[in-house]
A and B are shown apart, each in its own frame.
Chain A
């Protein structure tokens, strides 16, 4: 948080940290994402695996799956959404309190996948805002965890206390390239 290391005129005790309020709010938000599992298909199984002990989403502060949208701030759309389900999806999205984010998990939720038919929505981003797309059919839990890490990165670097980043169209696009996980056998200077 205190990166940058600005000099201040007064002498502070060691237990005091100075930060911007925006950064502080974003830091709190990104480390306590409460996912809403909108699991409609096989991606939901991987979503459950992500939350379970082996992959342990609790390491990233996002393990508290709630089945009430009013207690959630991260919608994970896992699986294909059919036409009749879309009003439900939109209603749940509207019931979630601000600020809120959305991860479109898997090929079906992102594009309709192989289900290019009359009854399947061809990507939920046509009807609700989406922050992160996870490729895969279904994605591995590691991929979902990576999406959550990237989303945390996005929240930390673009978030504002009053949520004004959602007001701008450009606010939906990331202001900087997302950090990538190191490739095995390749040295990088990624900080985690």
Chain B
């Protein structure tokens, strides 16, 4: 459902640093990282965005016109009014520390672990920030654009079983 203009205005008043836009009848808000924790609290407590649908990330490396490298995306929903909101934080490669959304929405736990695994974005205050998809000994973050599509050696560090070792 289309988000109400009143809601957008309230958000803009509360956090003057954020920029809003609209695409395909969906509201998009880009907030600055310093505000992020407050935005989480405000959206959940004051505005009723009680469902965190997804946390994901976009790597804008070599993207036309991009100022910063990573766009961290939070998809939110209000289950009372069916309003939906796309929240975005732009991050630079030099500083990838972001406050965790787990204290606000419990469901952010595994979503943030996936973003950490695939993009290497560090969520401070996350209760258990481990890899979720890749093996623990994996060293890279493979969904980054500068990760090669083929031919990395990470897949070769397993023991090789032969008939001879098997016969002992």
Residue positions of A touching B, CB distance < 8 A: 83-84, 86-87, 90, 93-94, 98, 100, 116-122, 126-129, 163, 166-167, 171-172
- Tell me if A's interface is mostly helix, strand, loop or mixed: loop
**B134 with A117: CB separation less than 8 A:** no
Residue of A nearest to B143 (CB): A118
Of B134, B160, B164, B166, which one neighbours A119 at CB under 8 angstroms?
B134
**A129 with B163: CB separation less than 8 A:** yes
Verify if B161 is at the interface (C-beta below 8 Å from A): yes
**A86 with B142: CB separation less than 8 A:** no
Residue of A nearest to B147 (CB): A118
Question: A122 — which chain B residues lie within 8 A by C-beta?
Answer: 155
Task: For chain B, residues 127 to 168, give those with C-beta under 8 angstroms from any C-beta of chain A.
Answer: 134-135, 138, 140, 142, 147, 149-152, 154-156, 158-164, 166-167
**A93 with B161: CB separation less than 8 A:** yes
**B161 with A120: CB separation less than 8 A:** no
Residue of B nearest to A112 (CB): B155
Given the known interface contacts A117-B150, A119-B142, the answer about A90 and B158 at a Cβ–Cβ threshold of 8 Å is yes
- Cα of A118 to Cα of B144 in the assembled complex, Å: 12
The smallest C-beta distance from A75 to any residue of chain B, in angstroms, reads 11
Interface residues on B, range: 20 to 34
Given the known interface contacts A84-B135, A119-B142, A121-B155, the answer about A90 and B161 at a Cβ–Cβ threshold of 8 Å is yes
Given the known interface contacts A118-B147, A121-B155, the answer about A93 and B160 at a Cβ–Cβ threshold of 8 Å is no
Given the known interface contacts A117-B149, A119-B142, A166-B167, the answer about A129 and B161 at a Cβ–Cβ threshold of 8 Å is yes
Question: B155 — which chain A residues lie within 8 A by C-beta?
Answer: 83, 118-122
Question: B158 — which chain A residues lie within 8 A by C-beta?
Answer: 86-87, 90, 127
Residue of A nearest to B157 (CB): A83
- Cα of A56 to Cα of B42 in the assembled complex, Å: 64
Of B142, B151, B152, B167, which one neighbours A98 at CB under 8 angstroms?
B167
The smallest C-beta distance from B129 to any residue of chain A, in angstroms, reads 19
**A93 with B147: CB separation less than 8 A:** no
**A172 with B163: CB separation less than 8 A:** yes
**A127 with B150: CB separation less than 8 A:** no
